[in-house]
Amino acid sequence: MGVASRPNLSLDAAESNNIEVGLKSFIADNTQLNLTLFRITTKNEIITNQTIAGRSTFINANDTKRTGAELSIDSDFNYGISTYFSYSLLNAKFDSDFGTIQSGNRIPGTYRSQIYGEVAWKYDALGFNVAFEGRHNSKVYVNDRNVDTAPSYTIFNVRAGFEQSLASWSFREYVRVENLFDKEYIGSVRVNDGNALFFEPGADRNYLVGLSARYKF
């Protein structure tokens, strides 16, 4: 029997307390702001103990705490131009010692900051829309001891499409290019990998082309 091939009856249920406050406001006739502040404390959080050959085992941490904020600003301008910006800040850490892990270590696999922004344009006469997007993720720790990280990265995407309506039918054609500048980056991590194979590369430049049709009864 290999790792994680049978039930782990030693795990306890995790218990979380959540506090969240938010604000929504128009800061101009064409701009809406959303702000959320949150705090999450967890006892007996279930975390990855080790991953070997794609199989994971899990254990309970003692206490963890997540505090952070999420901000978004959505604006519409003349001539079909719009912008959207979002920022998230997360301080996710172990809040007590357990095993060899010290209180204050960051929870692996969690980004401290993430940023997304886009500039879009639509031309209603033709049902055309296009947007340029940017996304940034901060560095991320790969194990509980915080001895290694995947570096931060920023990638850009572009999307475009047409929409048409005909009686009860609506049609949509679209194309999307991800990682427009073909950047090499670490897209995800294997937390606490037993062979220290923590890093998984992000996708090269890739394309998505689609067509959809919808009928309204």
Q: Does any domain span residue 5?
A: no
Residue 197 belongs to a domain: yes
- pLDDT score, position 2: 46
Let me know if residue 31 belongs to a domain. yes
pLDDT of residue 96: 92
- Domain with 77 in it: what CATH number? 2.40.170.20
Q: What is the DSSP letter of 9?
A: T
pLDDT value at position 3?
53
What does the block give as tokens for 126?
């033709």
Q: Which two tokens stand for residue 91?
A: 């301080």
9 part of a folded domain: no
- Establish if 1 belongs to a structural domain: no
Q: What is the pLDDT of residue 9?
A: 77
| Residue ranges in the chain whose pLDDT is less than 70 | 1-6
Residue 123's domain comprises 15-215
Distance CA 51, CA 186 (A): 18
> Has residue 21 been placed in a domain?
yes
Q: Residue 169: CB partners within 8 Å, gap ≥ 6? A: 213, 214, 215, 216
pTM of the model: 0.87
Beta strand 153-166 with 128-137 is antiparallel
Torsion (CA) 182, 188, 193, 195 in degrees, nearest 10: 0
Residue 3 inside a domain? The answer is no
**CA-CA distance, 106 to 95, in Å (whole number)?**
9
Q: d(Cα 49, Cα 26) in Å, to the nearest integer?
A: 45
Q: How many domains does the chain have?
A: 1
Q: Say if 7 falls within a structural domain.
A: no
Which pLDDT score, from 0 to 100, does residue 5 have? 60
* Inter-residue contact 136 to 183 (CB < 8 Å): no
